[in-house]
Structure 1
């Protein structure tokens, strides 16, 4: 049975595994950064490969015929390693990336390149920080929402432990309760955490948005699970 490696950890990765399991051997690889991840169907491995060389060795040892990178849009290091490893091993690679968010009527967005730039843009305003644990140390105050607590704790930052999906009503109530003056987010895209953007618009709260890291040159990219399934089905991912 042909083997497809899905670099996952996202809703898209889980949905893709659902679609592919049955006709193929599907192995989903999760980075292991979340203590209790939502697991996809099929085989699952958790943890890194040991860089490019380790991933090349895995692809060859497991007879992987294709790789679909369905990691988070900000998992730039994993994507770069996958592109290089697949090039070395001669294995087809597809990057599945949900479309990013776009400002709409009534939005007040400021785009920045990093969490440190976001912290500088926030200034002295009370921020609702939804960029995850990585980069949280750049902030000196505000309220941060994460799945797992930051290690070490960040002085001055109140941490709320929660996991989406979220509702607009819930996000409005949270921002009012904590007297939020500015929202900080990565351009993650998707619907699971988009309610905060609608809530910020309704409350007239500005948003600082961290841009996605660039993709490696030459990789093939699609935006939906259906397109990824079609890529595998037409033979691109079947070896």
Structure 2
């Protein structure tokens, strides 16, 4: 009988992992989505939507569903879920693996200003001579920038914010990646962007904007990733994650579990 595998998902890698495990003889996949996106795409396998109720709630869920292993494939900036998963898995005695795409690294020609908070990013705009800014930060992170006077913002989002922050000079652009390089070049040129603000999400789907910015010498204010539990084993690819699961099941078979 397949063992229950909980995937804390919502990312491209999480969908790929679930698809690769669909129909696997050793694993029954349960996908957990946070529920912040209306009508999310359903991954392969069983799906649950919504929170667990903190560490204690997640630990209870792991026990109630007899979860054999947990793969944390949440967004690199979903830090709280990572800490909750580490503590809950330790309490429940369930193996945990973190699958996280590598962070972007600056290349020759990049003009990056690395910051640790959105407040620091807003201050970097005030001090850095920005005039026309592309904000690609997500709708929940807009408030620190709304009060900056003297700047014009192009704000790219998947869905509109509710409520809409009180930007004085703004253009709203709603679109979903992946974004191709030629389109990103045209975007920066059409709107005369001189500064880009974004998260260090990593991956290929939204990296074209960084290449286009590098080509034009545009300054990038980059929010670095939050700290996650150092003791959690980590992989960078779906293939490595599948190998970890194979090793886990092989060990279980050898012990007669």
Compute the TM-score of the two structures, normalised by the length of structure 1: 0.95
202, 221, 227: which one pairs with 2:234? 221
- Listed as ranges, the gaps of 5+ residues in structure 1 are none
Greater relative contact order (CA < 8 Å, ≥ 6 in sequence): 1
* Secondary structure in structure 1 of the residue aligned to 2:171: strand
Matched, 1:41 2:54: no
- Asked if residue 204 in structure 1 is aligned to residue 204 in structure 2, the reply is no
Partner of 1:25: 28
- The answer on 1:69 being equivalent to 2:72 is yes
| Number of equivalent positions | 239
Asked if structure 2 preserves the Cα contact closer than 8 Å seen for 1:35 and 1:148, the reply is no
Higher gyration radius (CA): 2
CA distance in 1, matches of 2:166, 2:186: 25
- 1:232 paired to 2:245: yes
Write the distance in 2 (CA, Å) between the matches of 1:187 and 1:5.
26
Q: Where in structure 1 do 4 or more consecutive aligned residues deviate above 2 Å? A: 36-39, 236-239
Q: Which residue of 2 aligns with 1:139?
A: 145
Gaps of 5+ in 2: 147-151
TM-score, with normalisation over the residues of structure 2? 0.89
Secondary structure at 1:39's aligned position in 2?
coil
**Corresponding residue SS for 2:155:** strand
Distance in 2 of aligned mates of 1:134 and 1:172:
26
> What is the Cα-based RMSD across aligned positions, in Å?
1.5
Separation in 1, partners of 2:192, 2:119: 22
